[in-house]
């Protein structure tokens, strides 16, 4: 059996714009599963530049599962982007010091927690994902979407703010797919079952 190596940086010969993402990440607060790939129009080592406002002192994480497909210009906005918007002004006086230094006393910048992308998620070109979002397994995010709310597994969402376009399968089938978790199978089993996985015949898959 000949199986592509999950530990390769650049799995496509003579094509340096697509990488297996986990192998190019250097930031410990970005965690990526096997075989998830990122394609960049210029240079796939750009990925971390697309994770914006991601500061070590905040410590929020971007966690991406296995077998995800991430297109060029996908942007993850992290919690460092958040100003306090409940006051009269959102201006961050405190960061400039002097007599402004204590302006944030007894308050803190809002945090919406980690951003979590499930497994087998396809994120289209130029999508923006806001802080603290969870995207379920098998979801598809349409080109140019801005994701402001969690995305249910095996749904397709699009627009700004992203809204449900359709469910990929029936509710019953989605429950079964989430039990199956094919992405956690041994890679040999995945390889043997590719014809079933890439076609939509779920009856055969669940047999
Ligand atoms: C989301 C997507 C997968 C849907 O494809 P599809 O299943 O063939 O669906 P259709 O083209 O029939 O569109 C279904 C509906 O979604 C809408 N839609 C499609 N793309 C959309 C988008 N980017 N934003 C908002 N709505 C979109 C269509 O207008 C249609 O709406 P309707 O049901 O009201 O008529 C596809 O449009 C898409 O965005 N693919 C991502 C492509 C990409 O960015 N690839 C990057 C390289 S991997």
Which among 54, 83, 125, 126 is annotated as catalytic?
83
By CB atoms closer than 10 A (0-12, 13-18, 19+), residue 83 is exposed
- Catalytic, 83? Answer yes
Mutate to test the pocket of ligand 1, among 21, 41, 50, 142 (most ligand atoms within 8 A of CB): 142
Give a three-class secondary structure readout of 72-112. CCCEEECHHHCCCCCCCCCCCHHHHCHHHHHHHCCCCCCCC
Residue 136: phi and psi, rounded to 5, are: -70, 160
Residue whose CA is at the smallest distance from ligand 1 atom 31:
165
> 81: pLDDT confidence band, cut at 50, 70 and 90?
very high
- pLDDT tens digit sequence for 114-136: 999 999 999 999 999 999 999 99
Q: Is 159 in the pocket of ligand 1 (CB under 6 A)?
A: yes
- pLDDT tens digit sequence for 184-197: 999 999 999 999 99
By CB atoms closer than 10 A (0-12, 13-18, 19+), residue 140 is buried
Instruction: Using the atom order of ligand 1, give the atom closest to the CA of residue 127.
Output: 44
Residue whose CA is at the smallest distance from ligand 1 atom 17:
165
At residue 200, the pLDDT reads 80
Do 137 and 143 touch, CB atoms closer than 8 A?
no
> 138: pLDDT confidence band, cut at 50, 70 and 90?
very high
Q: What is the mean pLDDT of residues 153-179?
A: 97
Which distant-in-sequence residues (6+ apart) come within 8 Å of 153 by Cβ?
118, 136, 137, 138, 139, 174, 177, 178
């Amino acid at each position: 059996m000949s199986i592509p190596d999950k530990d390769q940086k650049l799995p496509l010969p003579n094509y340096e714009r697509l990488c297996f993402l986990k192998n190019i990440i250097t930031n410990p607060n970005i965690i990526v599963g096997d075989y998830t790939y990122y394609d960049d129009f210029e240079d796939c080592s750009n990925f971390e530049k697309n994770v914006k406002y991601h500061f070590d002192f905040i410590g929020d994480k971007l966690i991406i599962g296995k077998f995800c497909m991430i297109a060029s210009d996908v942007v993850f906005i992290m919690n460092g982007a958040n100003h306090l918007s409940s006051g009269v002004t959102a201006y961050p006086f405190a960061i400039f010091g002097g007599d402004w230094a204590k302006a944030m006393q007894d308050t803190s910048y809002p945090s919406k927690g980690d951003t979590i992308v499930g497994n087998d998620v396809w994120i289209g070109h130029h999508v923006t994902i806001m802080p603290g979002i969870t995207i379920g397994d098998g979801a598809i995010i349409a080109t140019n979407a801005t994701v402001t709310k969690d995305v249910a597994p095996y749904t397709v969402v699009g627009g700004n703010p992203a809204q449900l376009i359709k469910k990929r399968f029936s509710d019953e089938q989605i429950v079964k797919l989430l039990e199956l978790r094919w992405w956690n199978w041994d890679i040999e089993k995945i390889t043997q079952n590719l014809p079933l996985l890439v076609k939509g015949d779920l009856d055969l898959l669940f047999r």
